[in-house]
Structure 1
Amino acid sequence: MSTPEGPRRVRVTSPRTSAARRPIIPTGTREIDEQTRLGEIYMLSLVQSQLRLTLAVIGVVLLVLGSIPLLFWLVPPVRTLSIFGLPLPWMILGILVYPVVYVAARIYVRNAERIEAEFTEFVGRQ
């Protein structure tokens, strides 16, 4: 007894299945990649935001650290004070300066990352 063979299976494919599919690129990213005028405006806005942040952080650090000599000049007894046997000016310059710079750096990095994340989100939506 032989079993009747059913119809032979045939695979039907599109002639374009082997062609590479184009990835969908957000318009904002494409504008930047193609260096169009709009892409230049996007990048200029990012650079300006980062520059404003940089100048603000540097300004605050200079104001805080620049006020130390002013303190010594305006309040002369501060120059001769001692804490734990060390002169106060040495304590301020040797210890206080580093936390100020560290905090300023942390604030800068956190805000720079926020600016870049907002920029990436904005450009990705375009």
Structure 2
Amino acid sequence: MAAEPVPRREVVTRRPGSTPAPTAYRPATEPPRELTPAAHAHVRRLIRRQLRAGLATGGALALLVGTLPLLFRHLPATGLGPVPAAVVWVVLGVAVYPLLLLLAGRYVRRAERNERDYTRAVEGA
């Protein structure tokens, strides 16, 4: 007796007969292959400004949140007594998040402003 043929394996990603598979994203306009010196300067300035915004935000976060363990460590030496563990967890687990939201909102506004300035400069050039 001959062995039965093994059916071909198929990967089903959508219902047969439905709309065709979506095509890959293509931007409306192709970015220029070669940047002019002026465009190159605008891109470099945008990258520097975005990097500065990110480093400033990260530095502020590190300064404000990173110093909390030092504060908790040296607070008993001031005569106020030991800091209860519950207070430490409330500060680290709850009170830090509004600070994170404020820093994130400030960063997003700054990044969008940088991109708006870049768009204006490129369109005006």
Query: Match for residue 112 of structure 2?
Result: 113
Q: Is the 8 A contact 2:61 2:100 kept in 1?
A: yes
List gaps (5 residues or longer) in structure 1.
1-31, 82-86
User: CA shift at 1:74, angstroms?
Assistant: 1.3
Moved over 4 A (4+): none
Deviation at 1:37, TM superposition (A): 2.9
Tell me how far apart the structure 2 counterparts of residues 65 and 119 of structure 1 sit (CA, whole Å). 32
For 1:15, the equivalent position in structure 2 comes to none
Q: Which deviations, in whole Å up to 9, do the C-alpha atoms of 1:14-56 show, x marking residues without a partner?
A: xxxxxxxxxxxxxxxxxx8232333222111100000000000
Contact kept? 1:78, 1:88, Cα under 8 Å: no
Identity of aligned residues (%): 36
For 2:83, the equivalent position in structure 1 comes to: 79
Distance 1:117 1:37 in 2: 20
Equivalent position of 1:52 in the other structure: 52
5+ long unaligned stretches in structure 2: 1-30
1:42 match: 42
Q: TM-score, normalised by structure 2?
A: 0.66
**Secondary structure at the counterpart of residue 89 of structure 1:** helix
Distance change (3 Å), C-alpha of 1:55 and 1:111: same
Q: Match of 1:79, SS?
A: coil
C-alpha contact 2:39 2:122 (8 A) present in aligned 1: no
CA RMSD of aligned residues (A): 1.7
Report the count of equivalent residues: 90
Please give the alpha-carbon distance, in whole angstroms, between the structure 2 residues aligned to 1:41 and 1:65.
36
Which residue type is aligned with residue 68 of structure 2?
A: I
Q: In the alignment, what sits opposite 2:21?
A: none
